[in-house]
Structure 1
Amino acid sequence: MSAPTGVRDERDKDTGVAVVTLDRPQRLNAIDLTAAEQLAHIWRELRFDESVRAVVLAGAGAKAFCTGIDRSTVVPQPPSPYSTDDPLLTVGPKANDLWKPVIAAVRGMACGGAFYLLGEAEFVVAGEHATFFDPHTTYGMVSAYETALLAQRMPYGEVARTALMGTAERMSARRAYEVGLVSEVTPDGDELAAAVRSAEIIARQPTEAVQGTVRAVWATKEAARAQAYALAPHLIALGNLPAARQTELFGGRGKERNDFRIR
């Protein structure tokens, strides 16, 4: 079936694989509130579809897998200082109680809020020119949820470097493979097919064993993630610059477009 424009959902009942695609290439697959709702809806719906036994998550176009929250999106916030709404907290499969394996296929940029999705995938396949970076500190924001997820896939020093360097440095697909964020690197354009091939193999395994294994692997890191998530809202509230200042810094991004290095 197909979701409204923003996220595509294609299911192959013969192979048991669904391909979920962020379909906003004109916005570098940044997630607005509608796309966030669509993703949550798809993950929860897939829980009930017995014909789907594995999922591939991709981004439309060649420029980006996902660039996080759409900066033009206005996120209404409750008046209480003890409550903060982050729409990206509910865009991942685990956040929606989906324990079917998800493989991410990354082409182009994956940055910022993209790690909410990559962090809840079982593994990542990337095109050779894919890049990974976290722009939060450059724009005066605390990277909290992203680093909590990355810290469960990469060594501490690599997480710290990625988060602290901001837009000044982008991790190449090859380096991401070396540090464990990516499990396979393919020629550009082949990452989706490679992810689908892996998903098809997994989909042929007994369903209960596969989902139990997904749940077991996630359980090994769930407690640490939950503790980090509990602290994240307070760190963000204390460390983020005012919204107007963030916007001012973000507005100057064109001047630094080429002022970064790939490693």
Structure 2
Amino acid sequence: MKHFFVIMNPDKKGARETAGDICSYLEKQGAVCRIGERDRGRTGKHYTDASTVPDETECIITLGGDGTLIQAARDLAGKNIPMLGINRGTLGYLTQVSRNEEIKDALSSLLANDYRLEERMMLSGCAYRDGKVIAQDIALNEIVMTRSGLVKMLQLKVFVNQEFLNEYRADGLIAATPTGSTAYNLSAGGPIIVPDSKMVVLTPICSHALNARSIVLSADDWIQIELMGEKGVCQAAVFDGDTAMELYPGDCIEIRQADIKTILVKLKNISFLDNLRNKMAGI
């Protein structure tokens, strides 16, 4: 690799200085590095304009936490540029490098092409009202059906491949990828899944039933969620905690494996279980 693009979270302490150090080191080695400028969106998060990323870019380096990498994956979806995360957050399940002394070694590995690439599946969500598409988006971690405003409980009817699965009365419902299994899904009591596998896990949030459990589905399954309840009451489908679709009883959202994938750079010969154990020990 010789062409790099750095995306940082400027709210993280030392991020700007580290970004400058990374570019300086790479350029001294004969590489090309550019630091992306980010704009704040309506949610207050920083976004990267995909058009500002040079076509010759071979690697995206993110500086922040998992959220920074996930946001970059969404902003640059479809460009198929491998991403390496440098952690400046807390747990950092997706980031490969944490300590400052590891950064130069990681950059040297990239320059020497000493790495492997790992594909992570994404989810596509398409919402319908009266048979017409009203919104669609993608997610790397999860799509969450959640309450909006003063709604006390959601009523959701779920179908898989057009076959009725279950009716949920809960505070919400998570459709998570393996990558997202260690995020909101884990907090809600869902299972941890090896991140490079291909499957979707449905996990109810605070279900009003004694027998409600997570269900693991094939990545090829087609999930349909029909919103029920009192007419006119606003609910929401939230994508990676970033964008939200306003939905109402009678609407339907279809969730499938997205055609787009996120490509992560893997540097260390550390198993997922080792990484999981190390991260959990720090909680």
* TM-score (norm: length of structure 2): 0.29
* TM-score (norm: length of structure 1): 0.31
Larger Rg: 2
Of Structure 1 and Structure 2, the greater helix share is in 1
Of Structure 1 and Structure 2, the greater strand share is in 2
